[in-house]
Amino acid sequence: MASAVEVEHLWKTFQIPHEKRTTLFENLVGMMKPRQYETYTVLKDVSFEVEEGECVGIIGDNGSGKSTMLKIIANILRPTKGKVRVKGKMTPFLELGVGFQPDLTVRENIGVYATVMGLSRKDILEISDDVVKFAGLEKFEDTKLKNLSSGMQVRLAFSTAIQTEPDVLLVDEVLAVGDMEFQQKCFDVFNRYRKEGVTILFVSHDLGAVRRFCDRTLLLGGGERRAFEETGKVLDKYVYGRSECENSSDDSNIGQCGSNRWGNKKVIIIDVEFLDKFGIKCTRFSSMDPMTVRIHYHAVEDISDITFGIAIHSDDGHHLFGTNTKIKNIPLRVLPGDGRIDLKIDHIPMLSGKFLLSPAAQSSDYQITYHWIDKQYSFEVIPTSSDAGLIAMSCNWVT
Amino acid sequence: MYKLLTANHIHELYRYRDLILRLAWSDFKLRYKSSALGFFWSLLEPLLMLVVLYVVFSNLMRVQVEHYQLFLLLGIILWNFIDRGTSMSIWGIVGKPSLVQKVYFPRDILVISTCITALMMTALEFVVFIIFMVIFRVLPEVTVAYFPILFILEFFIILGLSMALSALNVYFRDVQFIWRLIVQVGFFGTPILYPITIFPENIRWIVMLNPMAQIITMMRDCTLYGISPEPANLAYVAVCTLVLLLLGYSIFARLEPRFAEAI
C-alpha cells in the first residue's frame, strides 16, 4: 500500500529569546548587545510513514512533541530540518470552530468555517441544512453565534467540521472536550471516516481511545521516536517501560514529608515497590492487570507478633481499601535484619487515576505501631477501555 | 524557501478564491452589522470630512479649483482607501491567531481578503461620489476609461504595502504606530486638499515621486476634467506598484514561516 504521510528525519527547534523584543524600538535599542537565545529542540530526528487508510495514534508525555509534530504535518509550523510529505487533501482538526465570528449568524458561520475547512461554495449550499439539523439548531439559524450556549457552538463547529471529506485527517485532543454523548458522536464519526478509508493521525492522552481506534501508534519521548508499531505493544511499552526514571522522582517527594510517618521503629519499612505483570518495578499500571506490592523492611530485634498491612486511598483522600496479614490470618514473626513481604493483587480493580498507598507494621493487637508511612507511595492506573469512573468491573452485556 | 508570486502560487490563490471572498465578505458584514445605521456610518465619515475641509479650504484658504467639492471628495476617498486598507491589513495576521495557528492555507490570503474588504468599503463611498457628480452635473468624459486602471494600480500598491506591514507587525508590534504617523504625514504631503499647482514648478517633481500623488492627480484629471494621463506618469506608477508588490511579497515570504510561532 502507498504511504499517505511520510515524515523523514524531522527536527524542530524553537528559539526562545531571553528577553522578548516585540517592538521595533526594543530591537533598535537591543542592537547594542547580542541577542541570547534559549534553543529548545522539540523533535529530534523523527521518521515514520503512515499508510493509506491507516489510523495512527501519537502518544507521549506532555512536552514530548506530539502537537508540534501534528502542526508540522499540517504545515502550520515549518520543520527546522527534514521533510514531510502528505498525499491528498489534508484537514486538521486542531481546534473546533476556527474562524467563528460571534457577531455573525449561525448560517453565516457555517459558511465561513466550512470554507476555512476547504469546502467549495456549492458544497456549502448543499450541506448547510444538514449541519443545522445535525447540530439541532433549526430554530436558531439566524441567531448570532454569540447568543448560543457554548455547548451549541461546539455542536455547530463539530457538525460543520465533519462535512469535510479529507484524505488525511489530523486530530489533536479534540475529543477531550465535551460530554460523554459528544465524545461518543466523535467516535462514531471517526469510525465512519475509517470505513471510508481516510488516513487518520490522532494525538491523544486518552490511551483508552488510542487502543480502541489506532492500528499503529507512535510513541514520542523527549522529542524522539521511542516506538512505532502495533498499538497494544506500544501502549504496554509506554505504560510499563518507564519505571526507573519516574520512581526516583517520586521517592524524592516521599522523603520530604516526615510528619507522615510514625512508630517506635523497632521495625522500619525501608521501601515499597510496585511490580507489574512482568515483575518489573514501575508506577503505572493498566487497569485490571496484576500488580505486586513489595514491602522491604528492616527489623532491629526479634518480634514474634507482627502484622503488616496496607491501605489504599484515592488521590482525593477517600479510603478505598485496607488489608493486613492478621485479617488474612497469617501469623508472622520477624528476625533481626532485612526482609520483604509481597502482596499479590490479581487484577487492579481501579479504572484510572492516581492512588496512594500507606504501608504499616504493627503488633497484632494494633497496640504497638512499629512503623507507619501514611500515603507516601503512589501508583497510577490507566484505563484500557473507554469505560468511565474510578473502579473497574469485569462485566458483559447480555441480550 | 517558501516561494510566493509564482505562477503556481497564483494558481493556488485561485483555488482558494472562495475562501478569500468569504473572509472578505464576512469581515465587511461584521463592520456594519453591530451599528444601527449600518453602512451609512461609513458614508457619513467621508462626507463629514468633506464638509469640514470644504468649508475650511474653499472659504478660508481660498483654494481656487474647478469643482472643488468633487476634487476634494475624490481625493479623500482615494486616500481613505489606502489608509483603511493598510491599517486594517496590519492586523490581518496578528488579529487572527486561530486562522494562523490552528489551520493552514496560504497566509497571504488573510491579507488579500482584508484588502478586498477595504475595496468593498471604498466601492460604497464611490456610490456617494457618483451621486455628487449627478448633483453637481459633472459628467465624465471618455477619459474616465483610465479610472479602473488607476484604481487597480492603487489596489496593488495597497496590497504590496499591506503584505510588508502585516508581516512586520507580527514581529514588531510598534509598526502600527509608525505606520499611522506615516499615513498622517502622507495625508498632508499628498495633493488631496490642494492641487499640485500650489507648489513652485521646480519642486513639483519631488512631490510627484509619491505614486499616490500621481494616482490622485491622474484620477481627478481623467474623471473630472477630461484629461488623459501622461503615459510616462502612468508607466511610473505601474513600475512603483510592481516594485512595492514585489518588495511586500518578498518581506512577507521571508517572515511567513515563523508566523505561527511568533504571533
**Residue B1, in any domain of the structure:** no
- Provide the CA A25 distance to its chain's centre, in angstroms: 43
Q: Identify any residues that bridge with A230 across adjacent strands, giving them in sequence order.
A: A216
CB contact under 8 A, A94 and B103: yes
A223 in B contact zone (CB under 8 Å): no
Is the domain of A220 the same as that of A132? yes
Assigned domain for B188 exists: yes
Together in a domain, A263 and A232:
no
Contact assignment for A103 to B30 by CB distance below 8 Å: yes
Answer yes or no: do A95 and A192 share one domain: yes
**Count of domains observed in chain B:** 1
Residue A389 lies in a domain: no
User: Is residue A312 assigned to a domain?
Assistant: yes
pLDDT in tens, A345-384: 999 999 888 888 999 999 888 888 899 888 888 888 888 8
Tell me which of A211, A239, A267 is where a domain ends: A239
Cα A333 from Cα A80, distance rounded (Å): 64
Q: Report the complex ipTM.
A: 0.86
Residue of chain A whose Cα is closest to the Cα of B173: A23
Cβ–Cβ below 8 Å for A121 and B178: no
Which of A108, A124, A145 should one mutate to test binding to chain B, selecting the residue with the greatest count of B CBs within 10 A? A108
Q: Looking at beta carbons, which residues of chain A come within 8 Å of B172?
A: 22-24, 27
Q: List chain B residues with CB under 8 Å of A111.
A: 22, 26
- Give the pTM: 0.76
User: Are A65 and A201 members of one domain?
Assistant: yes
Question: Are the Cβ atoms of A115 and B34 closer than 8 angstroms?
Answer: no
The boundaries of the domain holding residue B219 are 7-262
pLDDT tens digits for range A230-279: 988 888 788 766 433 344 334 333 333 345 778 888 888 888 999 988 88
Whether A56 and A90 map to the same domain: the answer is: yes
| A146 and A23 together in one domain | yes
Counting the structural domains of chain A, the total is 2
A75 with A220, same domain?
yes
Judge whether B167 lies within some domain. yes
Nearest C-alpha in B relative to A115: B19
CATH number at residue A354: 2.70.50.60
Do A184 and A86 belong to one domain? yes
A74 Cβ under 8 Å from any chain B Cβ: yes
In a domain, B179, yes or no: yes
CATH code at position A165:
3.40.50.300
A–B CB contacts, 8 A cutoff, strictly below: 75
Note whether residue B2 is domain-resident.
no
Regarding whether A232 and A299 lie in a shared domain, the answer is no
| Shared domain check, A209 and A90 | yes
Range of the domain at A96: 3-239
Q: A74 lies in a domain?
A: yes
pLDDT of residue A313: 87
Nine-digit cell at A136?
439541532
**Nearest chain B residue (CA) to A174:** B102
Q: What pLDDT digit, counting tens, does each position of A164-182 carry?
A: 889 999 998 766 666 667 7
- Does residue B129 form part of some domain? yes
Last residue of one domain, picked from the residues A205, A239, A273? A239
Residue A20 lies in a domain: yes
Average pLDDT of span B53-81: 85
